[in-house]
Protein backbone atom coordinates (compact mmCIF):
# COMPACT_ATOMS: atom_id res chain seq x y z
CA UNK A 1 0.00 0.00 0.00
CA UNK A 2 1.49 3.34 -1.02
CA UNK A 3 1.24 6.23 1.38
CA UNK A 4 -1.31 6.53 4.16
CA UNK A 5 -5.08 6.23 3.76
CA UNK A 6 -5.60 9.84 4.80
CA UNK A 7 -2.49 11.40 3.20
CA UNK A 8 -3.08 14.83 1.65
CA UNK A 9 -4.91 17.95 2.68
CA UNK A 10 -8.09 18.86 0.82
CA UNK A 11 -10.53 21.74 1.30
CA UNK A 12 -14.00 22.63 0.05
CA UNK A 13 -15.77 26.00 0.49
CA UNK A 14 -19.25 27.19 -0.49
CA UNK A 15 -19.38 30.79 -1.70
CA UNK A 16 -22.34 32.97 -2.70
CA UNK A 17 -21.57 32.53 -6.39
CA UNK A 18 -19.85 29.14 -6.52
CA UNK A 19 -17.68 26.53 -4.88
CA UNK A 20 -13.94 26.21 -4.30
CA UNK A 21 -12.17 22.84 -4.07
CA UNK A 22 -8.44 22.70 -3.35
CA UNK A 23 -5.71 20.16 -2.64
CA UNK A 24 -1.95 20.10 -2.26
CA UNK A 25 0.18 18.03 -4.64
CA UNK A 26 2.56 15.88 -2.56
CA UNK A 27 2.41 12.09 -3.01
CA UNK A 28 4.10 9.93 -0.37
CA UNK A 29 5.07 6.31 0.20
CA UNK A 30 5.62 6.01 3.93
CA UNK A 31 8.25 8.66 4.67
CA UNK A 32 9.31 8.98 1.01
CA UNK A 33 8.00 11.69 -1.32
CA UNK A 34 7.29 9.82 -4.56
CA UNK A 35 5.86 12.76 -6.54
CA UNK A 36 5.60 16.51 -6.26
CA UNK A 37 2.93 16.82 -8.94
CA UNK A 38 0.08 14.59 -7.75
CA UNK A 39 -3.39 15.50 -8.98
CA UNK A 40 -6.05 15.32 -6.25
CA UNK A 41 -8.72 17.60 -7.79
CA UNK A 42 -10.89 16.15 -10.57
CA UNK A 43 -13.57 17.51 -12.90
CA UNK A 44 -16.61 15.21 -13.04
CA UNK A 45 -19.03 17.26 -15.18
CA UNK A 46 -19.11 20.85 -16.41
CA UNK A 47 -20.44 21.97 -13.01
CA UNK A 48 -19.31 19.27 -10.54
CA UNK A 49 -15.86 18.42 -9.20
CA UNK A 50 -14.29 16.35 -6.45
CA UNK A 51 -11.13 16.50 -4.39
CA UNK A 52 -9.82 13.38 -2.70
CA UNK A 53 -7.36 12.59 0.11
CA UNK A 54 -5.92 9.09 0.37
CA UNK A 55 -4.23 6.66 -1.97
CA UNK A 56 -3.49 8.03 -5.44
CA UNK A 57 -4.67 4.87 -7.24
CA UNK A 58 -7.97 4.96 -5.36
CA UNK A 59 -8.40 8.66 -6.17
CA UNK A 60 -7.89 8.02 -9.87
CA UNK A 61 -10.22 5.02 -10.07
CA UNK A 62 -12.93 6.70 -7.98
CA UNK A 63 -12.91 9.90 -10.05
CA UNK A 64 -13.00 8.01 -13.36
CA UNK A 65 -15.82 5.74 -12.19
CA UNK A 66 -17.92 8.68 -11.00
CA UNK A 67 -17.26 10.60 -14.22
CA UNK A 68 -18.28 7.61 -16.36
CA UNK A 69 -21.44 6.95 -14.35
CA UNK A 70 -22.38 10.64 -14.49
CA UNK A 71 -22.09 10.52 -18.29
CA UNK A 72 -24.27 7.40 -18.40
CA UNK A 73 -26.85 9.15 -16.24
CA UNK A 74 -26.88 12.14 -18.62
CA UNK A 75 -27.40 9.87 -21.64
CA UNK A 76 -30.15 7.81 -20.01
CA UNK A 77 -32.02 10.74 -18.43
CA UNK A 78 -31.27 13.16 -21.28
CA UNK A 79 -30.17 15.82 -18.83
CA UNK A 80 -27.00 16.45 -16.81
CA UNK A 81 -26.75 14.89 -13.37
CA UNK A 82 -27.31 17.38 -10.55
CA UNK A 83 -24.99 17.72 -7.57
CA UNK A 84 -27.17 15.91 -5.03
CA UNK A 85 -27.62 12.95 -7.39
CA UNK A 86 -23.87 12.83 -8.10
CA UNK A 87 -23.09 12.94 -4.37
CA UNK A 88 -25.57 10.12 -3.73
CA UNK A 89 -24.10 8.11 -6.60
CA UNK A 90 -20.62 8.55 -5.13
CA UNK A 91 -21.92 7.51 -1.72
CA UNK A 92 -23.37 4.33 -3.26
CA UNK A 93 -20.10 3.54 -5.07
CA UNK A 94 -18.18 3.84 -1.80
CA UNK A 95 -20.70 1.85 0.25
CA UNK A 96 -20.78 -1.01 -2.28
CA UNK A 97 -17.03 -1.37 -1.71
CA UNK A 98 -17.26 -1.40 2.10
CA UNK A 99 -15.66 -4.85 2.39
CA UNK A 100 -12.71 -3.74 0.22
CA UNK A 101 -12.96 0.05 0.45
CA UNK A 102 -11.31 2.85 -1.44
CA UNK A 103 -8.86 4.41 1.02
CA UNK A 104 -10.21 7.90 0.53
CA UNK A 105 -11.86 10.92 2.05
CA UNK A 106 -13.74 12.93 -0.55
CA UNK A 107 -15.28 16.36 -0.95
CA UNK A 108 -17.68 16.76 -3.87
CA UNK A 109 -18.96 20.19 -4.85
CA UNK A 110 -20.68 22.06 -7.60
CA UNK A 111 -23.36 24.44 -8.75
CA UNK A 112 -26.78 23.47 -10.10
CA UNK A 113 -30.40 24.63 -9.90
CA UNK A 114 -30.18 24.34 -6.11
CA UNK A 115 -27.22 26.71 -5.95
CA UNK A 116 -23.64 26.04 -4.80
CA UNK A 117 -23.01 23.22 -2.31
CA UNK A 118 -20.41 20.75 -1.06
CA UNK A 119 -20.70 17.29 0.52
CA UNK A 120 -18.04 15.30 2.38
CA UNK A 121 -17.78 11.51 2.22
CA UNK A 122 -15.69 9.03 4.18
CA UNK A 123 -14.42 5.71 2.79
CA UNK A 124 -17.78 4.01 3.51
CA UNK A 125 -19.86 6.68 1.80
CA UNK A 126 -21.26 8.68 4.73
CA UNK A 127 -22.69 11.83 3.13
CA UNK A 128 -22.63 15.19 4.95
CA UNK A 129 -23.49 18.63 3.59
CA UNK A 130 -21.66 21.65 4.97
CA UNK A 131 -20.60 25.22 4.16
CA UNK A 132 -16.92 24.35 4.35
CA UNK A 133 -14.87 21.23 4.98
CA UNK A 134 -11.36 19.84 5.15
CA UNK A 135 -10.15 16.25 5.07
CA UNK A 136 -6.93 14.29 5.06
CA UNK A 137 -3.81 14.26 7.17
CA UNK A 138 -3.63 18.05 7.52
CA UNK A 139 -7.34 18.61 8.01
CA UNK A 140 -7.19 19.70 11.65
CA UNK A 141 -4.83 22.55 10.81
CA UNK A 142 -6.77 23.53 7.68
CA UNK A 143 -10.04 23.54 9.64
CA UNK A 144 -8.55 25.99 12.12
CA UNK A 145 -7.97 28.46 9.30
CA UNK A 146 -11.41 27.84 7.81
CA UNK A 147 -13.25 28.25 11.11
CA UNK A 148 -11.41 31.45 11.92
CA UNK A 149 -11.94 33.14 8.53
CA UNK A 150 -15.01 31.66 6.80
CA UNK A 151 -17.93 34.07 6.39
CA UNK A 152 -21.29 33.24 4.86
CA UNK A 153 -21.75 35.16 1.61
CA UNK A 154 -18.07 35.19 0.61
CA UNK A 155 -17.52 35.62 -3.12
CA UNK A 156 -15.55 33.09 -5.18
CA UNK A 157 -12.32 35.10 -5.04
CA UNK A 158 -12.48 35.36 -1.25
CA UNK A 159 -13.21 31.62 -1.08
CA UNK A 160 -10.25 30.84 -3.30
CA UNK A 161 -7.95 32.95 -1.14
CA UNK A 162 -9.20 31.22 2.02
CA UNK A 163 -8.75 27.74 0.52
CA UNK A 164 -5.16 28.56 -0.43
CA UNK A 165 -4.43 29.91 3.07
CA UNK A 166 -5.91 26.79 4.68
CA UNK A 167 -3.80 24.42 2.53
CA UNK A 168 -0.67 26.48 3.15
CA UNK A 169 -1.25 26.42 6.91
CA UNK A 170 -1.63 22.63 6.84
CA UNK A 171 1.48 22.13 4.71
CA UNK A 172 3.60 24.00 7.25
CA UNK A 173 2.87 21.34 9.91
CA UNK A 174 1.83 18.17 8.05
CA UNK A 175 4.73 16.26 6.45
CA UNK A 176 2.33 14.43 4.09
CA UNK A 177 1.20 17.70 2.49
CA UNK A 178 3.16 20.10 0.31
CA UNK A 179 4.72 21.02 -3.05
CA UNK A 180 1.91 23.09 -4.62
CA UNK A 181 -1.83 23.65 -4.63
CA UNK A 182 -4.45 22.84 -7.27
CA UNK A 183 -7.52 25.07 -6.92
CA UNK A 184 -10.80 24.36 -8.73
CA UNK A 185 -13.45 27.08 -8.83
CA UNK A 186 -16.96 26.13 -9.96
CA UNK A 187 -19.53 28.78 -10.93
CA UNK A 188 -22.46 29.06 -13.32
CA UNK A 189 -19.88 29.83 -16.00
CA UNK A 190 -18.16 26.46 -15.54
CA UNK A 191 -14.99 25.10 -13.98
CA UNK A 192 -11.56 26.71 -13.78
CA UNK A 193 -8.45 25.04 -12.35
CA UNK A 194 -5.35 26.99 -11.34
CA UNK A 195 -2.07 26.05 -9.70
CA UNK A 196 -0.77 28.04 -6.74
CA UNK A 197 2.49 27.94 -4.81
CA UNK A 198 2.58 26.36 -1.36
CA UNK A 199 4.45 29.36 0.13
Say which CATH number the domain at 13 has. Answer: 3.60.20.10
* Residue 55, domain member (yes or no): yes
* pLDDT above 70 for 78: yes
Whether residue 3 lies inside any domain: the answer is no
pLDDT at 30: 76
Does the pLDDT at position 63 exceed 80?
yes
Q: What DSSP string describes 145-170?
A: HHHHH--TT--HHHHHHHHHHHHHHH
Its domain, for residue 34, covers 9-197
Q: How many domains in the chain?
A: 1
Q: Which of 27-31, 57-61, 172-176, 191-195 is the least confident region?
A: 27-31
Q: What is the pLDDT of residue 1?
A: 38
Query: Are β-strands 9-15 and 18-24 bridged in parallel, bridged antiparallel, or unpaired?
Result: antiparallel
Closest by alpha carbon to 146, among 130, 160, 131, 162? Answer: 162
Q: What is the mean pLDDT of the chain?
A: 94
89 within domain boundaries = yes
Q: Is residue 4 part of a domain?
A: no
pLDDT in tens, 105-146: 999 999 999 999 999 999 999 999 999 999 999 999 999 999
The pLDDT value recorded for residue 2 is 45
User: From CA 144, how far away is CA 177, in angstroms rounded?
Assistant: 16
Catalytic residues: 9
Domain assignment present for residue 190? The answer is: yes
Q: What is the pLDDT of residues 154-165, one digit of tens each?
A: 999 999 999 999
Residue 118 maps to a domain = yes
> Is there a domain that residue 2 lies in?
no
Residue 182, domain member (yes or no): yes
Amino acid sequence: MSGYPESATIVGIVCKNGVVLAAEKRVTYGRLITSRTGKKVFKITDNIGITVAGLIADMQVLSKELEAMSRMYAMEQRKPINLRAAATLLSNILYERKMAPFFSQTIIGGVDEGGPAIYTLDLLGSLLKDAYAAAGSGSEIALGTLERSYKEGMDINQGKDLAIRAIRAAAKRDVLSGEGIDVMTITNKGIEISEESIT
